[in-house]
Amino acid sequence: MAAATGITKKEEVAFRHGTLNGKQLSAKDREALFRAHLPPEPQPSSHSPTSSSSSSPSASKRARNQAPKTGRIRSLLHFLIYQTISLLFSVFFRFRRSWRLFWYKIRAVMRHHHHSPEWIVNDVKNLEQLPKHVSVVLDYHEDDQDQGTAGLEGLVNDVCEIAAWTASAGIPFLSVYEPTGVLKNYHTQTYAAIQQTLENYFGSRRRPTLTVKAPHMTSYSPPGTPSSEPTENGSTTSRPHLTVLLLSELDGRDTIVDLTVTLAQMAQKGDVRVEQIDANLIDAELNDHVSTEPDLLILFSPTVVLRGYPPWQLRLTEIFHLPDNKGVNYQVFLQALKRFGKAQFRVGK
């Protein structure tokens, strides 16, 4: 061990027993023995903080005085850059929104339908394809002075106009989603209002037949409504038929939860096997209780907000909205049909 560590036999005995030549070693003596085997102490550098602070106190004071000034200038510069960027983006977005609203107004004036089905037919006649089921998302506003569609009356007017546009374009099915479900409470009144609007568009003799229904409610379609009209030569021509479905938030996730509970109870009772419960069964049940999947969903809001729309019905639906648009208008409806007419659907298996 002495050869490996460089400690002599005498020093090793002294370290272990604390005695040297029969004399008890004091603390200082033991430190002296250890110090001979320790590395040399580092010498203080001329650039150390202690020496620099002691040698040049004025330089240290100047550095302390300059540091806060530099920090304040840097913070002020960052603040000015941030405010400048925010101002530029604010001006850009406001200008873009104003331009879009101006362009929407110009197109609304130039391409107005004039409550005439012929104008609407002319707008969509060159489209390659039309949806068979169109769905729209509307909001019930207690007060909406900007759009003039406040309250139940404004909501029903929007539904009537959209129904007339849908029937004029030759689309047979329209579903209207309003989260609160207030339209369901006025089922009969909604039917009468849509009938009156269709008569204003088509006339009493060419008015399409109408059915208004809602999930878990009896459909409303008076049996006296003729399904055909006589012509000048005595023959009859069938009228187009429009079905309007009223949806609410309760018809979405709550329906899926109820269906899940029902299927679970049936599986426990043995009425249905677990292997039989698949996507096809769920799809068939939801189609019967809620609605079929719409081909096109139109949003009249400036952003894509579905507001609890039944999720199962949106798996393959084309969703359309116009940025910066507010309120129901014909141009959004027409642009949605044009977008759908150009869409290509590639459904994988």
Q: What is the mean pLDDT of residues 175-192?
A: 91
Lowest mean pLDDT among 133-137, 166-170, 247-251: 247-251
134: β partners: 174, 296
CB atoms within 10 A of CB 12: 13
Domain ranges for the chain, please list them. 2-35, 108-228+237-252+290-342
| Angle made by CA atoms 211, 298, 213, in degrees to the nearest 5 | 20
Q: Token pair of 98, please?
A: 């104003």
List pLDDT tens digits, range 191-219: 999 999 999 999 888 899 999 998 877 76
DSSP assigned state of 115: T
Q: Which CATH number fits domain 108-228+237-252+290-342: 1.10.3470, 1.20.140, 3.40.1180, 3.90.550?
A: 3.40.1180
Q: Token pair of 104, please?
A: 């929407």
Q: How far is CA 242 from CA 119, 170, 208, 251, in A?
A: 19, 9, 7, 21
Q: Which residue has the higher pLDDT, 321 or 324?
A: 321
Task: Tell me how many helices (H) and strands (E) the chain has.
Answer: 11, 10
What pLDDT does residue 191 have? 93
Rounded mean pLDDT of the chain? 80
Q: Which residue has the higher pLDDT, 105 or 121?
A: 121
CA distance 295 to 133: 5
Q: Which residue has the higher pLDDT, 279 or 248?
A: 248
Phi, psi of 94 (to 5 degrees): -65, -40
Q: Which residue has the higher pLDDT, 75 or 47?
A: 75
The share of the chain scoring above pLDDT 90, in percent, equals 30
What pLDDT does residue 296 have? 94
| Residues 194-225: b if buried by 16+ CB within 10 A, e if exposed | bbebbeebbeeeebbbbbbbbbeeeebeeeee
pTM over 0.85: no
What pLDDT does residue 51 have? 47
What pLDDT does residue 53 have? 46
Phi, psi of 24 (to 5 degrees): -70, 130
Helix (H, G, I), strand (E, B) or coil at 242: strand
For 160-173, the DSSP string reads: HHHHHHHHHTT--E
List pLDDT tens digits, range 18-42: 676 667 777 777 777 767 767 777 7
Residues 244, 212 contacting (CB under 8 angstroms): yes
Helix (H, G, I), strand (E, B) or coil at 107: helix
- 283 Cβ contact list (under 8 Å, min separation 6): 312
